[in-house]
Amino acid sequence: MSFQSVSQGDAVPLFVIAGPSGVGKGTIVSRLLDASSRIWISISATTRPSRPGETEGVHYYFVTDEEFDRLIDEGEMLEWAYVHGKHRYGTPRQPVLEAQAQGLIPLLEIDLDGARQIRKSMPEAVQIFIEPPSMEELERRLRGRGTEDEEEIARRMETARGEMAARDEFDVRIVNRDVSGATRQILHLMGLDK
C-alpha cells in the first residue's frame, strides 16, 4: 500500500461520525453519500485476508502485519484497533489528505475509541455523535433489525450506555429522531445544504 504525499494546507475538515450500534449511523452515511458527490468515505486498512468479492482499494486496503506495524510506527494511521482479537483495522492518513487536497469532504464512521484516537492524530476534525431519542428507542431499533440474539442485544445496550456517557466529548451531538432530519443537520455542518 503506497500513497502519494500530500500536505494538508487549507484543506476542508475531516468529519467523524460515531454513536451506539443501532442508532442509524450507516443509514445516515448512505444518505449523505447520496446527497453529495463531494463527500468521500474513508476506506480502512486491514490485516485480514480479502473475502470473495472484495476489491483492494474499494472495500479495504489489505496489508500484512508488518506493513500495518510500519504505518503505525510512521504515524500514518489516524486510528486503529484489533477487532475480535485477531485482525487489525484502521484509517490510513494519506488517502484522507489526498481527498482533502482534491476538495472532497472526508467522512469516517468509527467507534468511540477510534474517535478518541482521531482527536489526537487529527484534532481539527469535526466530531459528530449520533444519539438515539432514548435508550428505549435504541433497544427497539436493535430488536427491529432482527440481526442480534438477546445476549447480543444486551451486550450492545451495555456498550451503548458507555458510549452515551462519552457524548459530551464530541463537537456536535445530533439526536437521530428521523434519518432525513439528522442527514440535513450534517449536510448543514458540512456546508452542503445550499
The CA-atom distances, in angstroms, between 187 and each of 32, 33, 40, 127 are: 7, 10, 13, 14
Instruction: Give a yes or no: residue 9 inside a domain.
Output: no
- The grid cell for 11 is 484543506
Confirm whether 6 is domain-assigned.
no
pLDDT at 162: 93
The confidence score (pLDDT) of residue 131 equals: 97
Radius of gyration over every alpha carbon of the chain, rounded to an integer in angstroms: 17
**Could you tell me which of 191, 181, 170, 169 has the C-alpha nearest to residue 103?**
191
Q: The domain containing residue 109 runs over which residues?
A: 15-189
The backbone region for 9, taken as left when phi is positive above 0, alpha when psi lies in -120 to 50, beta otherwise, is left
Q: Is 39 inside a domain boundary?
A: yes
Q: By three-state DSSP, how is residue 91 classified?
A: strand
Looking up residue 20, the CATH number of its domain turns out to be 3.40.50.300
What's the CA gap between 68 and 1, in Å, rounded? 10
- H or E stretch covering 95: helix 93-101
Report residue 135: phi and psi, to 5°.
-65, -30
| Cβ atoms of residues 120 and 77 within 8 Å | no
87 within domain boundaries? yes
**pLDDT mean values, one per 10 residues, the chain (194 residues):** 43 91 93 97 95 93 97 96 89 95 95 95 96 95 88 92 96 97 97 84
Q: Which candidate, 63, 39, 3, 66, places its Cα nearest to that of 191? A: 39
5 domain-assigned: no
Check residue 3 and give its pLDDT.
37
Note the pLDDT of residue 10. 56
Bridge partners of residue 128, in order along the sequence: 17, 172
Q: State the Cα–Cα distance between residues 56 and 104, nearest whole angstrom.
A: 21
Q: How many CB atoms lie within 10 A of CB 91?
A: 25
Residue 15 forms beta bridges with which residues?
Answer: 107, 126
Q: How many CB atoms lie within 10 A of CB 45?
A: 22
Looking at the structure of the chain, the number of domains it has is 1
